[in-house]
Homo-oligomer: A and B are copies of this chain.
Amino acid sequence: MGTELLTIGTELLLGQIVDTNASWIAQRLAEEGIDLYYKTTVGDNAGRIEAALRQALGRADVIITTGGLGPTEDDLTRDVVAAVLERPLHLDPAVLAHIERRFAHRKIPMTENNRKQAMVPEGAEVLHNPNGTAPGLFLQDRGRCVACLPGVPAEMKPMLAEQVIPRIRESFGIRSRIVSRVLKTCGISESKLDHAIGDYFREMQNPTIGVLAHAGEIHVRLTCKGEDPAMITRMLDDLEAKIRERLGPLIFGRDDEKLEALVGQLLRGRKATLAVAESCTGGLLASRLTDISGSSDYFERGMVTYSTAAKEEILGVPAEILRESGAVSLPVVRAMAENVRRRSGTTFGLAITGIAGPTGGTPGKPVGLVYIALAWEGGDLAREYRFHGGRELIKYRATQMALEMLRRHLLAVPITET
């Protein structure tokens, strides 16, 4: 069974927007074991939409379109599909009522052209659109399925996932699916990861394992193919358990979990508080921590001591340490962490100093050299790192490693130098 995706919209052909719908749909179809063979984009032009649709009908079993379902004159998908499949359009009173309710709710007068969105080709199932006015359409035609979805991602995504994919699976008796799970690590090299789980990586047939490097993180992706969702979950659970047996708490999170959120949860669970002192990261660490709603429970304050004077005045880093070791040094980062903790009265102080570049590096202290320290009542630890990339990437990697240092300390996992 082959699928063809037809994305419709002149803005896509002018490059005014990136077609993120297409990659999202492609990924969802791959997860469902539905093969996508062609992806075609045409503008808001009836002739070319028709040509692309006729061709897709000639070579695919499933055709999914996005875009062109709205109320304007440029929205042609509904008319072209109706014409090509020879299904006259009828006004659907239920759809019209839904559209009218949406306008009434938002206290906006409904213009006449919006009625167009209530026109439905004969025999088409209407796909409810709780997030917009234009409904989707699902048609069966001589053994093929045609699904027409809106172009707005927030409207398209739930419609595809909840209404279209189940219908395609049903129509073609698809029973297998592909489910992925991502285990995230930070501060461990790819070669160490290979050393730790390379045997699984090479031997496993299903689920399979892939390792992918991202900025400041390395992901282990488990991918399982099967028919029974419960069985797939069990197989992924088994493999995850095996990998966790080897990597233990080096895995900081799963799937969409963010390091700054997980560190926050750990702090909250221990009723611990945090203050940070930043030099080269310039506030990014504080900003990431405060991106998490509820972070005021544990995040107390941050000091962006960009100048040497600020390090002395507001953090009390002794002038002689700054003079002797330089602002980018282990003794300074240690003093920053300890002093921000003590002055803020928090459980932990976390500090970063370094050279984000592109200028300011020297042979002895090159761009990418970063020191990170964590201080608590009666103890501290500090490490030197070398990060690569541009200024913003070095800032990000440094904050990522600082968060990981705190996470590992909270879980009593050794912080190795990488």
Chain A residues with a Cβ under 8 A of chain B:
12-20, 22-30, 36-43, 45, 48, 51-52, 55, 59, 276, 278, 280-287, 289-291, 293-296, 299-307, 309-310, 313-314, 343-345, 356-359, 391-392, 395
Contact = CB atoms under 8 A, between A and B. Distances in A.
5 contacts: A37-B42, A282-B286, A283-B285, A283-B286, A302-B306
Contacts of A281: 287, 290
A303 B301 contact: yes
Contacts of A38: 40-42, 48, 52
Contacts of A284: 283, 287
A293 to B, nearest CB: 6
Contacts of A286: 282-283, 286-287, 304, 306
B15 A25 contact: yes
A29 B14 CA distance: 8
Given A38-B40, A39-B41, A291-B391, 5 more contacts: A40-B41, A281-B287, A281-B290, A282-B286, A302-B302
Given A282-B291, A310-B301, A26 B30 contact: no
Contacts of A294: 359
- How many copies of this chain does the complex contain? 2
Secondary structure class of chain A's binding surface, majority of residues: mixed
A177 to B, nearest CB: 15
Given A293-B391, A303-B303, A307-B300, A12 B27 contact: no
Given A14-B26, A19-B22, A26-B15, A358 B283 contact: no
B13 A26 contact: yes
Contact of A40 (B16, B40, B303, B305): B40
A344 B290 CA distance: 24
A306 B282 contact: no
A239 B132 CA distance: 38
B52 A55 contact: no
Contacts of A293: 357-359, 391
Contacts of A345: 309
B37 A43 contact: yes
B41 A13 contact: no
B283 A304 contact: yes
Given A24-B15, A38-B52, A41-B39, A301 B291 contact: no
Q: Which 5 A-B pairs have the closest CB atoms?
A: A282-B290, A15-B27, A283-B286, A15-B26, A302-B304
Given A290-B306, A296-B307, A18 B15 contact: no
